[in-house]
Amino acid sequence: MNRILDGLKKYFMDWRNWLTHSLVGILLLAIAIFAPVNVYIKIAFIASVVGFNVIRMKYFGNK
């Protein structure tokens, strides 16, 4: 359990994750204004961003 909490803390403290999620949020807002998209597509998009960030941190992070 401690390993999971440490991983979450590390994930939320990474400035690149903040930048990525901010850009994704702005993109989703722009899409929602101009072309409404199904909520499941939005959730899948956010989940894929989180997944790519986790992979990036695990394999290409600070070494």
pLDDT in tens, 12-30: 788 888 888 888 888 877 8
- Residues 20/53, Cβ–Cβ less than 8 Å: yes
Pull the structure tokens for residue 23. 């850009």
Q: What is the pLDDT of residue 54?
A: 80
What are the boundaries of each domain within the chain? Answer: 2-60
The 10 Å Cβ neighbour count of residue 51 is: 10
pLDDT in tens, 26-60: 887 787 777 777 888 878 877 887 888 788 778 87
Helix, strand or coil, per DSSP, at residue 25: helix
Is the pTM higher than 0.85? The answer reads: no
For the cut 80, the answer to whether the pLDDT of residue 8 exceeds it is no
d(CA 51, CA 36): 24
